[in-house]
Structure 1
Amino acid sequence: MADKSYAPPAPPGPPPGYDARPPPPYHNWQDAVPDTAEFPPPPTSGNYYSNAGNASADDAERAHNFCNSTPLYRPAHPPTVVYNSARNYDISPIPPAEFGGSISGHHGRWKGLTRDGNGDCALLTNLPLYFALADSPFVTKGKKTIYFEVKLLGLRAGPTPNDASGLSVGFAAQPYPTWRSPGWERGSLAVFSDDGCRFTNDSFGGKDFTDAFRVGETVGVGMTFELSEDLVSVPKLKVNIFFTRNGQHSGGWDLHEEIDEEAGGVEGLGGEADLYAAVGLFGGVDFEICYHPEGWLYHPW
């Protein structure tokens, strides 16, 4: 673990601090590059501080400045074709400039690797798994669950003794600084493989949560959004995060009960923003991501 063209109608009263501009069009990768099954390597472009050595204080400061100067996008109504793609799990990970390695796949299953010593980076999906203006229980009056799984296929030591390797699984709102693992900056949460800690908008401490992931193990992370029983007294959604290992439920937490203002709060995670599946990577990691229920070991519904 390192330091841990549509013009959408404006929603009434966007949350304070959210970008007044609409987000960029949702990236429907399948429409943009219909015959592409493989992404080429992109061009280079608390409890613990770091036991990996892959993240630096400069990276953290740059990310904090980015988040302070770039508000989360306000949600937008997705076009029908985009929303249907997400509902059919026709989604893909988008490697950022910081990703050094390869990834390929189709039908919701993607296999990849990062080179030894690769710095921290975040793989976010091209489309949200949760669309705030389409999936919110405030709109549907029902419950919404999002989930995906990752299999840890291998870990490779870096070129120096201080280099560690691992991954994290979680969710993030956009825009997110892609040189940081999910969970460390606002609008994100994740569970980390190297020590099992969970982070929610938390660059410093994290919280003890589970055991370290083992090579060959499949882990999953999900979020469930639903209306509170008393919306007058509690005018916000109930949000529960759950974690799985090898097809078995393995703990979770209530987003609001576990709020820690000193660690960063829960901005962007309470159902007010679109949320993307996010996999954080550092060092040399072999992995497989499964977004489609047909490949999951655990079925949350």
Structure 2
Amino acid sequence: MGFFKSLKGHHPTTIGAAPPHNPSKVDSEPYAPPLEPPPSHKNQYQSRGGTPYNQATGEMNYTPPPGPPTGRGECAPPPGPPPSQNNTDSEPPPYHDWTSVPDNALLLPPPSLGHTTSPSGNANPSDADRAHDWCKAYPMIRPHQPTPAQHAAVANGDVRMLKPPEYKGDLLMPGTGLWRGSTRAGSKDACLLTSSPLYFASADSPFSTRKTKTIYFELKVRSLGRGRGTDESSIALGYCAMPYPTWRMPGWERGSLAVHGDDGRRYVNDTWGGKDFTSPIQVGDTVGLGMSFSIPDNPPEYGVPPQTGTSMKVEVFLTRNGQRGKGWNLHEELDANNDLGVDGLDGQFDLYGAVGTFGGVEFDVSFDSRHWLWRPE
């Protein structure tokens, strides 16, 4: 009997003895925490003066902090707009009417860019310095009143040309208002001028006549270089106020303008490299240069002299082989760094026809409209 009892593992329980240890049974039963907090926590709450534990009910007397828990709930935004949008104006900003901007089509175009040197011929710096000093010593002369015969002769193209000392060559007059010139190879700069003005400020000014006055002449290039290459010769046509240093090409000094044939640039009181204008003048070309003087858009009343600073409209134009080409407004926007203004050219001074030569050239000049290729309207 005892053998079988031991196989089943059944043993009587002794009264008062501890029950046998059964690990699987203990782990499966839930554990209920004690009703009171640990002693260490009780002392902590008491030291802070609080009574978090209610022994009667067995619950914690815990008062939550004010406000919603961190990260939960919704907070009201702060008063006022964000700093970047703080606007104290009670009304929206006024609307800008862009249609009130003036039309820039009425403004002058931006200034043309000038050059510091010419790609072809450039004068000796000492000649330029000497001319600058000469112009300071001899200012431009005031206009003079022409006689009726003199004024009529110029209007009919009966104009004479003067040969300066620097001009090395021939200058002939085959007919009234017609001139034929030729210079020797290696000749230095020279400026031929007419003996009489083509524009008389006292007699032709639109402020006095109330009419547009146009002056013009033509030049035909018969040869350039004369056997030494066209890069060693040049010719120019323009206008000058007197006096003018005749060892300088027209357009280089004050009171002058010109178009130069070697680089096709225009020079207006320009001692530098000129401004791009047209293509170089070739052998066989007939080119003409004109200036038109007219009353300004807001002229003074009839019989009232123009006020100081009032300028007339001046248009400069070029023709080539009878066709009118490019031109420019004399009072265009100027480059403050390079341009020297238009003193002497704005109709307040007499203007003479000018032909500049350098090296060996042959040319014809015509002041008589009957021989012009261009026909004025």
TM-score computed with the length of structure 1 as normaliser:
0.80
Give the aligned partner of residue 148 of structure 1: 217
Give the aligned partner of residue 117 of structure 2: 49
Q: 1:240 to 1:98 in 2, by over 3 A?
A: same
* Residue 264, structure 1, aligned to residue 332, structure 2: no
SS at match of 2:150: helix
* Residue 243, structure 1, aligned to residue 311, structure 2: no
Q: 1:211 to 1:162 in 2, by over 3 A?
A: closer
Post-superposition offset of 1:103: 1.1
From the two aligned structures, give the one with the greater strand fraction: 1
Measured in 2, the distance between the counterparts of 1:116 and 1:257 equals: 38
Give the aligned partner of residue 199 of structure 2: 130
Per-residue CA deviation, residues 238-291 of structure 1 (Å, 9 max, x unaligned), is 000000000001100000014344321101000000001111110100000011
What is the count of residue pairs matched by the alignment?
255
Measured in 2, the distance between the counterparts of 1:260 and 1:177 equals: 25
**Do the aligned residues in 2 keep the contact of 1:192 with 1:198 (CA within 8 Å)?**
yes
Matched letter for residue 126 of structure 1 = S
SS at match of 1:263: coil
1:274 paired residue among 342, 350, 365:
350
Larger-Rg structure: 2
Measured in 2, the distance between the counterparts of 1:150 and 1:222 equals: 12
Post-superposition offset of 1:109: 1.1
Q: 1:57 to 1:187 in 2, by over 3 A?
A: same
* Residue 295, structure 1, aligned to residue 371, structure 2: yes
Using the aligned pairs only, state the percent identity. Answer: 49
Tell me whether 163-172 or 230-239 shows the greater mean CA deviation. Answer: 230-239
1:10-21 matched pairs, under 5 angstroms: none
Matched letter for residue 197 of structure 2 = P
Measured in 2, the distance between the counterparts of 1:74 and 1:229 equals: 26
**Do the aligned residues in 2 keep the contact of 1:187 with 1:266 (CA within 8 Å)?**
yes
Post-superposition offset of 1:49: 2.5
Q: 1:51 to 1:284 in 2, by over 3 A?
A: farther
TM-score computed with the length of structure 2 as normaliser:
0.65
Q: 1:128 to 1:246 in 2, by over 3 A?
A: same
1:76-115 matched pairs, under 5 angstroms: 76-105=144-173, 106-115=175-184
1:121 paired residue among 184, 190, 193:
190
Measured in 2, the distance between the counterparts of 1:80 and 1:260 equals: 41
Post-superposition offset of 1:204: 0.6
Q: 1:218 to 1:275 in 2, by over 3 A?
A: same
Post-superposition offset of 1:158: 7.6
1:173-252 matched pairs, under 5 angstroms: 173-231=241-299, 235-252=310-327
Measured in 2, the distance between the counterparts of 1:135 and 1:76 equals: 12
Measured in 2, the distance between the counterparts of 1:80 and 1:53 equals: 42
- RMSD (Å), alpha carbons: 2.0
SS at match of 1:265: coil
SS at match of 1:267: coil
Which consecutive unaligned segments of at least 5 residues does structure 1 have?
1-45
**Could you list the runs of 4 or more consecutive aligned residues of structure 1 that deviate by over 6 angstroms after TM superposition?**
none
Per-residue CA deviation, residues 101-158 of structure 1 (Å, 9 max, x unaligned), is 0011121111110110111111111111100000000110110000000001001258
From the two aligned structures, give the one with the greater helix fraction: 2
Which consecutive unaligned segments of at least 5 residues does structure 2 have?
1-113, 301-306
Post-superposition offset of 1:58: 0.8
**Do the aligned residues in 2 keep the contact of 1:259 with 1:266 (CA within 8 Å)?**
no
**Do the aligned residues in 1 keep the contact of 2:120 with 2:263 (CA within 8 Å)?**
no
Measured in 1, the distance between the counterparts of 2:290 and 2:188 equals: 26
Post-superposition offset of 1:79: 1.8
Measured in 2, the distance between the counterparts of 1:190 and 1:266 equals: 12
**Do the aligned residues in 2 keep the contact of 1:113 with 1:285 (CA within 8 Å)?**
yes
* Residue 286, structure 1, aligned to residue 366, structure 2: no
SS at match of 1:134: helix
* Residue 60, structure 1, aligned to residue 128, structure 2: yes
SS at match of 2:264: coil
Measured in 2, the distance between the counterparts of 1:169 and 1:73 equals: 22
Measured in 1, the distance between the counterparts of 2:209 and 2:134 equals: 33
Give the aligned partner of residue 36 of structure 1: none
Post-superposition offset of 1:188: 0.5
Measured in 2, the distance between the counterparts of 1:57 and 1:193 equals: 21
Post-superposition offset of 1:299: 2.0
Measured in 1, the distance between the counterparts of 2:210 and 2:128 equals: 39
1:28-47 matched pairs, under 5 angstroms: 47=115
If asked which structure has higher relative contact order (CA below 8 Å, sep 6+), I would say 1
Matched letter for residue 202 of structure 2 = L
